[in-house]
Structure 1
Amino acid sequence: MTDSIIPNMKRFPETLVAFLLALLACLHAETVTPKAGKLESENIIAVYGDASIAPTPPPGWSFHWNARGNLGDSAGYAPLSYDEKARAYGVRDASGALRTDAPGHTISRGIGYLDVSAMRDKDGVARCYVASYKLSADSVGEVWINHGNLRTPLSYGTDLRVYVNDQLKAQSLIKRDRFAQVFQFYLGRLKKEDVIHVAVGPSENSPKAAGRLFYIIEDCQAGQKPAKPVNIISPALHASAPQFGADGKIGTAYADKHKAQCAAVVATRPDLVFIGDSITARWPQEVLEARFGKHRPINLGIGGDWIQNVLWRVQNGTLDKAAPKVVVLLIGTNNLTGKFTPDELTADLGALLKAIQSKTPRSKILLLGILPRGASIKDEINESIRQTNAKLATLANNEQVFYLDIGDKLVEPDGTISPAVMPDKLHVAGPGYTRWMEAMGPTLDKLLNERP
């Protein structure tokens, strides 16, 4: 026993030194390597998504293109001008109109809309779109680009570069995907009047660049990494997520709407709940009251929702303390716009149905088929809708979950969809809701009046 202890005692000083050296190395690594985790505090310096939709750039912001030089030479950048009629920033031609052969961005947040564009000129020079932000003060900690989103439809991708002043800090080829690619870049400690340039341009040998762009500039505590970037443009497959604002946080209006709906459910104690996206949200309340007033119908539609957004709402209080007799669910058309396949959409809707059942297990769910869209039933999107609805029908067990497709009632005998029924080829108008109610009413009457 003594013999075994003495050799270890002799090695103790050597072991202690090794331990202390290792500890110092770890401490040094902590100071120079950003570590993951939620920040105790955060300081958003600027939000591109908010700045880009302003007719006059907010303080610190400016929009350019590399008119007289290469990227990384800001002396050769020229400002973009805003055209009120086009609701876009761009380069004006001799007549004052915006050129179609020069970079710019359009003010829009529609699903899939291309709000940033750039291209190669006739000499093959890449003319890039550049969003610039000048710091008004020294950073307190270290600066990051966070909650970056870029979705491009181009098969050859789109080039993304970030400069501080004229020094390249990050570069990434954003490839075409159904979902936005998210990014996060470390820029380090910056000083007052440093300029951050985010440039979008053609990838190597490609003729143009295009996409949807979001990002924030964030000041983080030294040695800390900001929160994981979120997909602002489109929720990921099988995700549970709210609608995010341009700053990467839950949208303020969305959060307020969700909170108000949760409170309304508690106050109303409805027997009948409608939940979905803007098509549901636009139901005329007087139509619902006229037919189902005694069942205290409540509308839980929110415009822009995907299946993943409704799943988040259900998991975060929408149906808490509710025990409706029937939940009418219509959701999924935005997922189809986002290029979900019928199988993916059906799988996500199946998960949503289970979430609803877990919150209100005694309720019956009337799952509606996705409504037709466009000018005619022959429009390409309607083939995807037909394929999807055939799969959605299999989710019904006719005990707790029931399926009903009323889409044919919104279509004219010749296969067209009347502007009186769908003025914008997507959202239902008054006459359409009347037809919808006539088609759905008998099924709802039966489900509401059946004993549990």
Structure 2
Amino acid sequence: MRHDHRAVFQRHYGDLNAAIAAIPGNTSANTLWLLDHLPKMSPKVIVLQIGANDQRCRWGPEITAQNIRAIISRAKQKWPMARIVLVPPLPRGSDPGAERGEYVSQQFAARPDVRIVWLGDLFVSGGKLVGFDSSANLHPTAASQDRMGARLGPVLHDELGAANQGGRGRGRIDRREEHTH
């Protein structure tokens, strides 16, 4: 059963004039198409949480990283001043060690125009996947979405503040060790 995550979204991002432009089940390749079909907008910050669904297509992490690279390039062409926040693919039933997410993180870690926020650790406890709403480990529960928002929300506020001041992004990876909540 899918949870209604609107309350979680409102709690963590409601004051940001944020919108979700996603289609459930999309792969990274579908996201390239989506970028060309979005309504006219001028985002200051773009959050990319993509790549986990590539696993069901049996695409390796190299293909996911290649597609994300193309998505970032296309987004920068359309919105050159937008800051990019990348949430690497979360662990899934077919990737409990989050190897895809780690690979994507490594591929973009040195980019000064991308800020990476790692959320994979929120879904692993004692070497097992936790926080998903089914045995297939596909969709985060509402409680997991809330933990994600607690980590991602401050990053988005920080990035939006920098965008409003005309600052350029600096590449970095935000991991659990940097968060004391």
Bin of the TM-score, shorter chain as denominator length: 0.7 to 0.9
Matched, 1:296 2:10: no
Once residues 106 and 44 of structure 2 are traced to their aligned partners in structure 1, the CA distance between those partners, rounded to angstroms, is: 21
Matched, 1:426 2:138: yes
Matched, 1:330 2:49: yes
- Runs of 5+ unmatched residues, structure 1: 1-278, 375-379
- SS of residue matched to 2:20: strand
**CA 1:388–1:291 in 2, change beyond 3 Å: closer, same or farther?**
closer
Matched, 1:441 2:153: yes
What is the aligned partner in structure 2 of residue 312 from structure 1?
Answer: 33
Contact 1:393 1:403 in 2 (8 A): no
| 1:323 alignment partner AA | S
Once residues 145 and 59 of structure 2 are traced to their aligned partners in structure 1, the CA distance between those partners, rounded to angstroms, is: 26
Report % sequence identity: 24
Displacement of 1:284: 1.6
Taking structure 2 as the reference length, what is the TM-score of the superposition?
0.78
Corresponding pairs, count: 161
Contact 1:288 1:297 in 2 (8 A): no
Matched ranges for 1:108-147 at <5 A: none
Higher alpha-carbon Rg: 1
Matched ranges for 1:175-190 at <5 A: none
Once residues 437 and 372 of structure 1 are traced to their aligned partners in structure 2, the CA distance between those partners, rounded to angstroms, is: 17
The structure carrying a bigger strand percent of its residues is 1
Displacement of 1:397: 5.0
What is the aligned partner in structure 2 of residue 347 from structure 1?
Answer: 66
| 2:31 alignment partner AA | V
Once residues 432 and 371 of structure 1 are traced to their aligned partners in structure 2, the CA distance between those partners, rounded to angstroms, is: 12
Matched, 1:321 2:40: yes
The structure carrying a bigger helix percent of its residues is 2
| 1:353 alignment partner AA | I
- SS of residue matched to 1:346: helix
Matched ranges for 1:57-76 at <5 A: none
- Runs of 5+ unmatched residues, structure 2: 167-181
Matched ranges for 1:159-174 at <5 A: none
Displacement of 1:443: 1.6
User: Residue by residue, what CA displacement relative to the aligned partner does 1:315-356 show, whole Å, maximum 9, x if unpaired?
Assistant: 2x31x5311121111111121221111212211111111111
Matched ranges for 1:378-389 at <5 A: 381-383=95-97, 385-389=98-102
Once residues 443 and 308 of structure 1 are traced to their aligned partners in structure 2, the CA distance between those partners, rounded to angstroms, is: 26
Matched ranges for 1:45-84 at <5 A: none
Kindly report the root-mean-square deviation, in angstroms, between the aligned alpha carbons of the 2 structures: 2.2
